[in-house]
Amino acid sequence: MPEDNFSVKLIAYVPNARNNAQRAECEKAQRDQQCPFCPSGSALNSLDDPVIFESDHWNVKKNAYPYPGVGVHLVIIPKAHITSVSELSDAAILELVHVVVPWAEKEFNLPGYGLVVRTNPAVTGGTIYHLHFQLVLAKVGETVNVPFGPRRE
């Protein structure tokens, strides 16, 4: 399994955690050197917050730590432990565009959405070094602010 063969030391970027629960999850992931976004990882095997869609190359779940004001907030995670869009296979890209996003559009009856890519969390404001997309739709009348860049206290 590819998730067992990576040698990445940076798993989670704790300073960007948005609350104590996320901070604890990030600290544990970094300490245990277990990527929560890999298929065997804690985020994808949470009984309280399960994967809601799976394809050959992707897992999709609701964001466990949604941004304020969101109506829909999904995390779309490649099964491969990769850290950049440039590492996605052609098959994964095609599946994202032609299977995963269309599923989300239909499942949540989306009139539109924002699609954010998180790579290196230390510079993008995310928490997990495993590449992921965040699909965000604000509640009617709300504005969702997606942080980019390191979190400041």
- Residue nearest Zn ion (C-beta atom): 35
Both tokens of residue 38? Answer: 């890999």
Handedness of CA 5, 78, 48, 69 (dihedral sign): positive
Closest distance to Zn ion from the beta carbon of 37 (Å): 5
Query: Least distance to Zn ion from the beta carbon of 128, Å?
Result: 7
CB of 60 to Zn ion, least distance (A): 15
Q: Which is nearer to Zn ion, 33 or 68 (CB)?
A: 33
| Residues forming the site for Zn ion (CB under 5 A) | 35, 37-38, 81, 130
SS3 118: strand
Using CA atoms, how far apart are residues 122 and 130, in angstroms rounded to an integer?
12
Q: Which is nearer to Zn ion, 28 or 105 (CB)?
A: 28
Whole-number Å distance between alpha carbons of 43 and 64: 8
DSSP for 29-48, please give it.
Answer: HHHHT--TTSTTSGGGS-SS
**Nearer of residues 73 and 132 to Zn ion, judged by Cβ:** 132
Smallest separation, CB 135 to Zn ion (Å):
19
Question: What's the chain's length in residues?
Answer: 153
| Closer Cβ to Zn ion, 12 or 35, answer by number | 35
Tokens encoding 4: 């067992």
For Zn ion, the closer CB: 89 or 107: 89
Q: Which of 121, 106, 10, 107 is nearest to 65 (CA)?
A: 121
Provide the minimum distance between the beta carbon of 7 and Zn ion in the complex, in angstroms, as a whole number. 12
